[in-house]
Amino acid sequence: MTEEQNSLKEDQRDTIYQIRVKGHLGSEWINYFHGFTIHCREAGETVLTGPVMDQAELHGLIRRIRDLGLPLISIMRKDNK
């Protein structure tokens, strides 16, 4: 594996995403969004925070949100460094 590929893998491991959706998800959804924390806000929003390995996994999460019928408010990438 090249140094560039190793560097990319390290960056991917450290990528945390915060996804805000309209509506409240209860703690029973923790297994559906494995590895993510679920925080409901008073404003009728839920914030999902957790690691995302790559763009394919991110798109999968977005599909899950769509399949639940939850309106997507925002997606924010946060570096976990």
Instruction: Encode pLDDT of 17-30 as tens digits.
Output: 999 999 998 888 88
Tell me how far apart the alpha carbons of residues 43 and 20 are, in angstroms, rounded to a whole number. Answer: 11
> CATH code at 25?
3.30.70
Q: Which residue has the higher pLDDT, 4 or 40?
A: 40
- What is this structure's pTM? 0.77
pLDDT band at 81 (very low <50, low <70, confident <90, very high): low
Q: Any idea of the CA torsion for 8, 10, 16, 17, to the nearest 10 degrees?
A: 20
User: Edge-to-edge strands of the sheet including 72-79?
Assistant: 37-41, 45-51, 15-22, 72-79
What confidence tens digit (pLDDT) does each residue in 27-79 have? 888 888 988 999 999 889 999 999 999 999 999 999 999 999 999 999 999 87
Q: Specify the number of domains making up the chain.
A: 1
Whole-number pLDDT of residue 10: 53
Burial (CB count within 10 angstroms: exposed 0-12, middle 13-18, buried 19+), residue 23:
middle
Q: Which domain holds residue 7?
A: 3-79
Whole-number pLDDT of residue 29: 87
